[in-house]
């Protein structure tokens, strides 16, 4: 096998006989290691003369080693006595000329320091170049000359798609521009924004704000068209700048807006002006926002401000989800058949969470499912009815969208219970498989319509059970409906699990010949028989542990600590569905606060955390009498044995290495509880 053999010329000064011998020894050594090294001592007297010979060697060489010494530096810069050191002087001139021609980009000339030398003797023109001090750095120099990196780059792996996150900066690099109707309103909006900045400054320093508030009031009038808000208008004393309308319904309009306080995009939902004096409409509008704000779940749109009023304008503020809604995505062909089930399962998880909190949505439909990448978020709870609320529904109104509304609700809106949401979710799945807006035929003869859908027969059967006209014969909960969908996948279930692994909230039933855990068990587990305890064993390093199953219907309390929002949400969502009671923390200090306050049964601890890392957080937990008994399972991407050993030293009972699937975490938890 041939190797690259560079041409190397060594430029030096004849300081002394000993110095010449050391340079010759270096040249001989390089040649013995396969490098075509050249030095003047190999020549008797070149016929072209030393100046031309030196110039040719420098120009032909791949590399020139410059042996730096006090004498060489002096001769290189031409400050030696006349007639002395002309070789070094000529070479110095050639080096300088080549660097000039190369635009000062040096890839050829390498300063070297022999034992006893000093880096301070490197010629000025080469001061920025990498130099090598011999003998210690001989092999580093050899790597440089032969192009052998000390570390070989691994092959490029597979691309890893990551969840998009809301971008927050001190200022938007590209501030969203409202869709102004004309230049007059654009100028008024710009002046109004400046006025709000002045107002904030006046308030901060305690100055009189009367004049600037009067100016703001006048500018705001210019940005109103009667009761109609216009792009560029501001709400909440300048906090929210309206950009554009992104949705409009029978009762309200949704604006894309810039939250100047939080420096992020938000969605502002404004009640139509004609309903501002209708007390019942206002109450229902804000009741929906209030209930939505109580539902803290990654699959439900987050409410930032639940009740805001400004004169006759009534509104609330939500997170902005920029991927459009499911209806738009399906009609535009962006939802493939294999994505339908994962999307419906994720919506089902959010809906089941709402039902567990005593809230029925009552208006589940494709337009009320927003998309953040592949992750759906349920919105528009403004037609919501809480189970514990009396009187809050006007029964003469057929709330919701007709074709997605359960038959019993069309007869009596008070009958809009969890079964009605099952019907609506199932009809949403029918629409997604159909790929087009549903015709009236889908509502009149749903079973016949489902027969023609392009999906597995078992999936079609699950859909029929979800859209049965008789509510008593319909699947009784969102969980059972989603379980039926998943079981209907049969042998392809594992493929779907791969597609939706980051959001799947239950695992396929194991083929044990017995019954599987019911998805309707919510947050409880079957009590284990005391005569036949369930045992789970797991291996941690060299230690083995055997723990009997908890003989209680009380859910296992888990604290999930991870600074990556998407990962934390995925693990929490899965564990909640599997019957665990989950708390979360995004850094080490928050983990300590929640552990001391709630005393969880087990902690999943990421090790690389902000403010306080996972190692130190675990150490403090183990030093505290109230928390030292809690098993801490490290969940980390650190692959080095030293990192794992350190985790065990501070008290972690087990290490789960990322990337991992949620089921790995469940298995680890059950080994220690």
Instruction: Please report the beta strands in 357-415, taking only residues with DSSP state E, as ranges in sequence order.
Output: 359-360, 369-372, 375-378, 385-386
CB 568 within 8 A of CB 560: yes
CATH number of domain containing 192:
3.30.200.20
Backbone angles phi, psi at 216, to 5 degrees: -65, -40
Same domain, 282 and 343: no
Contacts 24+ apart (CB under 8 A), 514-523: 517/579, 518/480, 518/483, 519/479, 519/480, 519/482, 519/483, 519/577, 520/476, 520/477, 520/479, 520/480, 521/579, 522/356, 522/479, 522/579, 523/356, 523/555, 523/576, 523/579, 523/580, 523/581
Half-sphere exposure of 169 (CA within 13 A, CB side): 6
pLDDT tens string 505-549: 443 333 333 333 333 333 333 333 333 333 233 333 333 333 333
Same domain, 618 and 590: yes
Residue 174's SS3 state is: coil
CATH number of domain containing 135:
3.40.50.11530
Neighbours of 649 (CB within 10 A): 11
Same domain, 136 and 70: yes
Region 448-467 average pLDDT? 91
Question: What is the pLDDT at residue 486?
Answer: 85
User: Per the domain annotation, does 110 fall within a domain?
Assistant: yes
Q: What is the mean pLDDT of the chain?
A: 78
CB 574 within 8 A of CB 641: no
Domain boundary among 270, 289, 319: 319
User: Per the domain annotation, does 251 fall within a domain?
Assistant: yes
- pTM assigned to the model: 0.49
361 DSSP assignment:
-
Binned at pLDDT 50, 70 and 90, residue 567 comes out as confident
User: Per the domain annotation, does 83 fall within a domain?
Assistant: yes
Binned at pLDDT 50, 70 and 90, residue 553 comes out as very low
Phi-psi region of 236 (alpha: psi -120 to 50; beta: other; left: phi over 0): left
Same domain, 224 and 123: no
Same domain, 292 and 431: no
Please, which residues have CB within 8 angstroms of residue 643's CB and are 6 or more apart in sequence? 607, 636
Region 351-359 average pLDDT? 89
**Which residue in 58, 75, 72 sits closest to 9, CA to CA?**
58
Instruction: Please report the beta strands in 467-595, taking only residues with DSSP state E, as ranges in sequence order.
Output: 535-540, 543-548, 557-561, 581-585
Same domain, 305 and 334: no
User: Per the domain annotation, does 508 fall within a domain?
Assistant: no
Question: What is the pLDDT at residue 209?
Answer: 84
CB 256 within 8 A of CB 276: no
Reply yes or no on whether the pLDDT at 29 is more than 90: yes
* 334 or 166: which leads in pLDDT: 334
β-pair partners for 539: 544
Domain that holds residue 629: 523-671
Straight-line distance from the first to the last Cα atom of the chain, in angstroms, rounded to the nearest whole number: 59
Residue 172's SS3 state is: coil
Same domain, 228 and 353: no
Count structural domains, the chain.
Answer: 4
Spatial distance between the Cα atoms of 24 and 290, rounded to a whole number of angstroms:
86
Residue 171's SS3 state is: coil
CATH number of domain containing 531:
3.40.50.2300
pLDDT tens string 282-323: 888 888 888 888 888 888 999 999 999 988 899 999 999 988
Same domain, 263 and 330: no
Contacts 24+ apart (CB under 8 A), 595-599: 595/559, 595/621, 595/627, 595/630, 596/624, 596/626, 596/627, 598/557, 598/559, 599/557, 599/626, 599/627, 599/630
User: Per the domain annotation, does 156 fall within a domain?
Assistant: no
Question: What is the pLDDT at residue 261?
Answer: 83
Backbone angles phi, psi at 241, to 5 degrees: -105, 115
Region 611-636 average pLDDT? 90
Same domain, 303 and 347: no
User: Per the domain annotation, does 155 fall within a domain?
Assistant: no
Same domain, 315 and 411: no
Same domain, 139 and 187: no
Please, which residues have CB within 8 angstroms of residue 118's CB and are 6 or more apart in sequence? 68
Reply yes or no on whether the pLDDT at 599 is more than 80: yes
β-pair partners for 8: 37, 63
Spatial distance between the Cα atoms of 380 and 378, rounded to a whole number of angstroms:
7
Binned at pLDDT 50, 70 and 90, residue 98 comes out as low
**Angle 62-68-72 from CA coordinates, rounded to 5°:** 105
600 DSSP assignment:
-
Half-sphere exposure of 134 (CA within 13 A, CB side): 21
User: Per the domain annotation, does 60 fall within a domain?
Assistant: yes
Domain boundary among 271, 290, 319: 319
Residue 37's SS3 state is: strand
Q: Output the six-digit token pair for 322.
A: 């920029």
User: Per the domain annotation, does 471 fall within a domain?
Assistant: yes
CB 603 within 8 A of CB 630: yes
Q: Output the six-digit token pair for 262.
A: 């939080």
Residues marked active site are found at 363
Half-sphere exposure of 555 (CA within 13 A, CB side): 16
Question: What is the pLDDT at residue 95?
Answer: 67
**Which residue in 424, 413, 406, 410 sits closest to 368, CA to CA?**
424
Supply the angle between the helices 565-577 and 662-671 in degrees, to the nearest 10: 60
CB 5 within 8 A of CB 32: no
Most confident of 179-193, 341-355, 544-558: 341-355
CATH number of domain containing 447:
1.10.510.10
pLDDT tens string 217-230: 888 877 776 667 88
C-alpha torsion sign, points 138, 140, 142, 144: negative
Same domain, 364 and 464: yes
Binned at pLDDT 50, 70 and 90, residue 34 comes out as very high
**Cα 308 to the chain's mean position, in Å?**
31
Q: Which of 33-42, 337-346, 500-509 has the lowest mean pLDDT?
A: 500-509
């Amino acid at each position: 096998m041939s190797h690259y053999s560079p041409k190397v010329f060594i430029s030096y000064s004849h300081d002394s006989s000993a110095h010449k011998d050391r340079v010759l020894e270096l040249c001989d050594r390089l040649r013995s290691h396969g490098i075509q090294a050249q030095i003047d001592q190999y020549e008797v007297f070149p016929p072209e003369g030393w100046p031309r010979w030196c110039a040719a060697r420098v120009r032909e060489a791949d590399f020139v080693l410059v042996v730096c010494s006090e004498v060489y530096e002096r001769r290189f810069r031409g400050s030696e006595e006349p007639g002395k050191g002309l070789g070094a002087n000529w070479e110095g001139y050639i080096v300088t000329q080549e660097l000039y021609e190369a635009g000062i980009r040096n890839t050829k000339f390498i300063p070297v320091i022999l034992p006893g030398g000093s880096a301070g003797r490197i010629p000025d023109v080469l001061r920025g170049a990498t130099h090598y001090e011999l003998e210690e750095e001989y092999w580093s120099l050899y790597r440089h000359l032969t192009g052998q990196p000390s570390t070989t780059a691994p092959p490029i792996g597979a691309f890893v798609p990551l969840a998009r996150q809301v971008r927050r900066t001190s200022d938007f690099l590209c501030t969203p521009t409202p869709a102004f109707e004309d230049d007059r309103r654009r100028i008024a909006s710009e002046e109004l924004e400046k006025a709000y900045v002045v107002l904030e400054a006046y308030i901060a320093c305690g100055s009189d704000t009367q004049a600037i508030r009067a100016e703001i009031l006048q500018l705001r009038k210019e940005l109103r068209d009667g009761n109609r808000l216009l792009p560029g208008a501001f709400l909440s004393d300048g906090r929210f700048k309206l950009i554009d309308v992104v949705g409009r319904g029978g009762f309200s309009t949704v604006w894309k807006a810039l939250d100047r306080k939080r420096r992020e995009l938000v969605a502002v939902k404004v009640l139509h002006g004609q309903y501002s004096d209708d007390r019942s409409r206002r109450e229902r509008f804000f009741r929906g926002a209030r209930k939505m704000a109580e539902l803290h779940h990654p699959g439900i749109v987050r409410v930032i401000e639940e009740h805001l009023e400004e004169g006759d304008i009534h509104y609330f503020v939500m997170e902005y989800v920029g991927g459009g809604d499911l209806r738009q995505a399906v009609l535009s062909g962006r939802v493939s058949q294999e994505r339908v089930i994962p999307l419906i399962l994720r919506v089902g998880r959010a809906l089941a969470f709402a039902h567990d909190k005593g809230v029925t949505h009552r208006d589940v439909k494709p337009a009320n499912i927003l998309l953040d990448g592949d992750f759906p978020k349920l919105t528009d709870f403004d037609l919501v009815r809480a189970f514990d609320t009396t009187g809050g529904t006007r029964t003469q109104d057929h709330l919701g969208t007709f074709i997605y509304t359960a038959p019993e609700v069309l007869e009596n809106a008070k009958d809009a219970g969890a079964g009605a949401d099952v019907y609506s979710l199932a009809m949403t799945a029918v629409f997604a498989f159909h790929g087009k807006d549903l015709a009236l035929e889908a509502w009149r003869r749903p079973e016949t319509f489902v027969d023609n859908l392009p999906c597995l027969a078992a999936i079609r059967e699950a859909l029929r059970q979800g859209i049965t006209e008789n509510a008593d014969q319909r699947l009784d909960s969102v969980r059972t409906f989603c379980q039926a969908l998943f079981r209907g996948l049969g042998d392809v279930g594992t493929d779907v699990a791969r597609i939706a692994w980051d959001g799947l909230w239950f695992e396929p039933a194991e083929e044990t010949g017995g019954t599987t855990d019911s998805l309707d068990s919510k947050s409880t587990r079957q009590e284990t028989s005391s005569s036949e305890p369930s045992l789970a064993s797991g291996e941690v390093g060299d230690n083995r542990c055997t723990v009997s199953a908890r003989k209680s219907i009380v859910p296992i309390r888990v604290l999930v600590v991870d600074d990556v929002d998407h990962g934390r949400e995925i693990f929490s969502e899965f564990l909640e569905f599997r019957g665990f009671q989950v708390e979360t923390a995004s850094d080490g200090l928050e983990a300590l606060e929640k552990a001391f306050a709630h005393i969880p049964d087990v902690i999943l601890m990421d090790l690389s955390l902000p403010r306080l890392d996972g190692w130190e957080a675990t150490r403090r937990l183990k030093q505290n009498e109230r928390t030292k008994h809690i098993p801490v399972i490290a969940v980390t991407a650190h692959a080095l044995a030293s990192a794992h050993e350190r985790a065990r030293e501070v008290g972690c009972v087990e290490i789960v290495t990322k990337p991992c699937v949620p089921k790995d975490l469940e298995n680890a938890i059950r080994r220690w509880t």
